[in-house]
Chain A
Amino acid sequence: MTGTTGTTGAALGAPAERREGRQKVTGAARYAAEYTLPGRAHAWPVPAAVARGRVTAVDTAAALALPGVLAVLTPEDAPRLADPEDATLAVLQGPGVPHRGWCVALAVAETPEAARAAARAVRVTYDTAPHDAAFTEHHRDGYAPQEAGGQPGRVEHGDPRAAFAGADVRVDVTYRVPPLHNHPMEPHASTAHWDGDRLTVYTSSQGGTTVRSTLAQLFRLPEEHVTVVAEHVGGGFGSKGTPRPDVVLAAMAARHTGRPVTLAYARRHLPTVVGHRAPTVQRLRLGAGHDGRLTALLHETTSPTSRVKEFVEYAAVVSRVMYAAPNLLSAHRVVPLDVPTPSWMRAPGEAPGMYALESALDELADVLGLDPVELRARNEPAEEPGSGKPFSSRHVVDCLREGARRFGWEDRDPRPGVRREGSWLLGTGVAAATYPVQAAPSTAGAQALPDGTFVVRINAADIGTGARTVLAQVAADALGVPLDRVRTEVGRSDLPPAPLAGGSSGTASWGWAVHEACAELASRLAAHTGPLPAEGIETRADTTGKADADSPWARHAFGAHFAEVAVDTVTGEIRARRLLGVYAAGRILNARTARSQFTGAMIMGLGMALTEGSTLDPAFGDFPEADLASYHVPVHADVPDVEAHWIDEDDPHLNPMGSKGIGEIGIVGTAAAVGNAVHHATGIRFRELPLTPDRILAGLLSES
């Protein structure tokens, strides 16, 4: 505990230690697969071995003959569910196979070993249909979606094509981002247990409230008959933002066998069933005057989706936020294919979109001979370009200038390809960052106890953000009491319902309700005389109508990323030497956990830039890079010292805490800063991620 915990009114912003930290470092924290209920059985899925078709037969005899095997659920005999809103959850409901990896049977056994052996022994026969898993930008099935990330799929202002054609200076470039996998360290897992018609699940989820309503709907139960526990969640990064098949399958298996059942996905199962970042092909056309002011900005992106449901990787949305261009086009296309369904991965839309936009802007700076920080400053919009709304606060240029100062940008020689250190070429790069401010309605309860302590209750999810801690800080300040007198209970659906930890909105949504419940409790206590009753005094808040109210303001967090890289001209290897981020994200509520989120997201951005790449295989219809030996997330040795700083931002148009979301902005722009540094080092533009040695070496060889 820090020295601020004993004083009142000072909890917000303090670097308070994580409340569940001790449990995590001693191994006491239990995750979804670790609820070892008496009689627990284990389930193991059988993934479809074809890219499209129908299951014609499932032979379970050999599997059922193995020792310890309890059951094999098939599309024929699995419990029937109500039609889900999310079609990826309609598992074992029919013979159709929409993509490779789709669950076609489920083995249940006494032990994980027996379940796995049984799954291998299941013989599935298919009627295979021709499939199309070849993503191309100009695929004939491509269409313009109505919506992209909850916004219009297309926004057009002025006459962008004509303005671009007539511009003094033009950049017309195409950037490519491959499929990317979330790969939280804890694979998706659920333990399900029925007691009569009451269902309890322990699940690894970013939002237990939605898991509960989904299970209630699927299994035709009243919501109060479903309890969802997600006390500790081993990361999610978007892939646990919606219920995944594991929780549905575990509940089906538990009902079928009458036993508690755990389904813990194997790492290699994840890429096909928990969503992924869809690849994007993004064409950027920038037209500018010789002074660097943009006259036209055209951002068009195409990505695949599955035939199970539409998901649009909304990469062009960032161009509605960032720069003043009187002629603007921001448009999306999607191509439905017979492939696994893409979904949210940390900063969906913004992360790939800002990679392309900020790389293209660097190219424009290069053509103009203008410093890239200065180019961005010259294109600051007076209001949000897409909506015309004024910004509630916008300090992106302050972030760029502060970052430049800290990074030593002033001394930079802009010429590319001139800094050598033995076989290494050195370079530095910059990119801006943005992420929208979002919040959803939430409820929360607050209770004052006779012993002078307080309890805050809310079904928030702590996926590693430190939700318990920061919500206690919000409560302590609203109550005007020391932090160590407030306890928080999160991660259970019998607590007041709350929205998910996603879209960098968790703390804003939950904190808003906690603040209201605590402010109400404080005024009740002020009016109260005498000792508190034994059960204390309780209040409850619901921010419906407030947190989701339309705002006249354009509300976004902003930031700036700086990177220094070394490129080995012999091997093509890139080493990041420094990463530095500066953010303007409203009020920072916990300096310690906020810094960890910023730097952690920057490191994921470093992976996006240099090592992480997957492939939609046209022949097989899934991802060859299905494990951590072939999909390379950054390791210790890849990660240099990473600095995150923030500037004070006092924005009264956000929420009672004055905070903006911070979980995602760190990944936005990092890849562009690294890529721009690689150009500065080598003089070569690489426009496809990741920047792996094979690509770099080929580029260096073709230049020389």
Chain B
Amino acid sequence: MTSEPRPGHHSEITLRVNGKPHTLRVDHRRVLLDLLREDLDLTGSKKGCDHGQCGACTVLVDGRRLNSCLLLAVTLDGSEITTVEGLGGDGEEPHPLQRAFLDRDAFQCGYCTPGQLCSAVGMLAEAAAGHPSHVTGPETPAGPPVPLDRTEIRERMSGNLCRCGAYPRIVDAIEDVI
């Protein structure tokens, strides 16, 4: 039992979430996903497995896509978090990718959708920054943006499960915004 965090331990942290600062006293056991859902009532980020296996909780942390269920909130002091609620910014209009998901019927039950959207935004940034994937050809030059075909999109989005099987439509939607 000694290796476990002692119950009742809390620390104060400050996060910016969707552009707004929040200072909170967090239980050391609390993960970012539960902080968003329980403390901030931002329930768009979903709990599908609480295990880093399904991607439904994907958010952007300092611009990178991460599974928020695997991040202890206390380690994130000073971080900038973007959730599905913040993708569209302050405006009325949704993010182009959100619009593309609607146009392509890229979801059914909607539970994986926030994670797919945040993951796709992060993925597009990774490709733009020249990050290779498992299917990127060895001849692809390092540095410039990696062109994304459907195989690349599928590979890079494979951390986000969808049990309704909307995968082909999600790839369509992502292609629409490239």
Q: Which residues of A contact B (CB under 8 A)?
A: 17-18, 20-31, 33-34, 36, 66-68, 111-114, 117, 183-187, 232-235, 237, 264, 266-268, 463-466, 592-593, 595-597, 599-604, 627-629, 633-637, 639, 641-642
Contacts and interface: CB of A to CB of B under 8 A. Distances in A.
Interface in B52-68: 53-54, 56
25 contacts: A17-B102, A21-B102, A25-B84, A25-B114, A27-B42, A27-B45, A27-B83, A28-B44, A30-B43, A66-B7, A111-B38, A112-B34, A113-B30, A114-B7, A234-B109, A267-B51, A596-B105, A596-B166, A599-B168, A599-B169, A604-B165, A627-B53, A636-B154, A636-B157, A637-B154
Nearest to A27: B44
B102 A185 contact: no
Nearest to B6: A67
Given A187-B48, A628-B161, A464 B85 contact: no
A66 B6 CA distance: 10
Contacts of B108: 235, 464-466, 593, 596-597, 600
Nearest to A641: B168
A113 B34 contact: yes
B153 A636 contact: yes
B20 to A, nearest CB: 15
A605 to B, nearest CB: 9
B171 interface: yes
Nearest to B43: A34
B29 interface: yes
A501 to B, nearest CB: 11
A637 B152 CA distance: 9
Nearest to A666: B165
A234 B94 contact: no
Nearest to A233: B109
Contacts of B51: 267-268, 627-629
B110 interface: yes
B163 A604 contact: yes
B72 to A, nearest CB: 11
Given A67-B7, A113-B34, A641-B168, A183 B41 contact: no
Given A602-B165, A637-B154, A637-B155, A25 B50 contact: no
A28 B117 CA distance: 14
Top 7 nearest A-B pairs by Cβ distance? Answer: A27-B44, A234-B111, A464-B109, A603-B165, A600-B165, A24-B110, A464-B108
A627 B105 contact: no
Nearest to B112: A185
Contacts of B160: 635-636
Chain A CB count within 10 A is highest, among B37, B111, B112, for B111
Nearest to A267: B49
Chain B CB count within 10 A is highest, among A185, A235, A596, for A185
Contacts of A66: 7
Contacts of A33: 47
B146 interface: no
Contacts of B85: 26-28
Chain B CB count within 10 A is highest, among A27, A112, A183, A235, for A27
B162 interface: yes
A25 B113 contact: yes
Interface of B: 7-8, 27, 29-30, 34, 37-38, 41-51, 53-54, 56, 83-85, 87-88, 94, 98, 101-102, 105, 107-114, 117, 150, 153-155, 157-171
B9 to A, nearest CB: 10
B161 A185 contact: yes
Given A633-B163, A637-B155, A27 B168 contact: no
Given A464-B108, A596-B105, A629-B53, A24 B113 contact: yes
A639 B155 CA distance: 10
A274 to B, nearest CB: 13
Contacts of B164: 185, 235, 464, 596, 600
A261 to B, nearest CB: 14
A187 B49 CA distance: 8
Contact of B49 (A28, A232, A628): A628
Contacts of B43: 27, 30-31, 34, 36
A66 B105 CA distance: 47
B163 A184 contact: yes
A592 B105 contact: yes
B78 to A, nearest CB: 23
Contact of B94 (A25, A595, A627): A25
Contacts of A463: 109
Chain A CB count within 10 A is highest, among B37, B94, B108, B110, for B110
B109 A635 contact: no
Contact of A596 (B42, B94, B158, B169): B169
B111 A186 contact: yes
A234 B46 CA distance: 10
B165 A634 contact: yes
B10 to A, nearest CB: 10
A22 B94 contact: yes
A186 B84 contact: no
A294 B23 CA distance: 74
Contacts of B83: 27
Contacts of B168: 599, 639, 641-642
B175 to A, nearest CB: 12
A66 B161 CA distance: 35
Given A20-B110, A185-B112, A267-B50, A635 B161 contact: yes
Given A26-B88, A596-B108, A185 B46 contact: yes
Given A183-B163, A267-B49, 11 more contacts: A25-B107, A27-B44, A36-B38, A111-B27, A111-B38, A113-B29, A464-B109, A596-B164, A634-B167, A635-B161, A639-B154
B177 to A, nearest CB: 13
Chain A CB count within 10 A is highest, among B45, B155, B161, B164, for B164
A235 B54 contact: no
Contact of A187 (B47, B102, B158): B47
Nearest to A69: B7
Contacts of B8: 67
Contacts of A114: 7
A31 B56 CA distance: 13
A599 B51 CA distance: 28
A63 to B, nearest CB: 11
Contacts of B150: 641
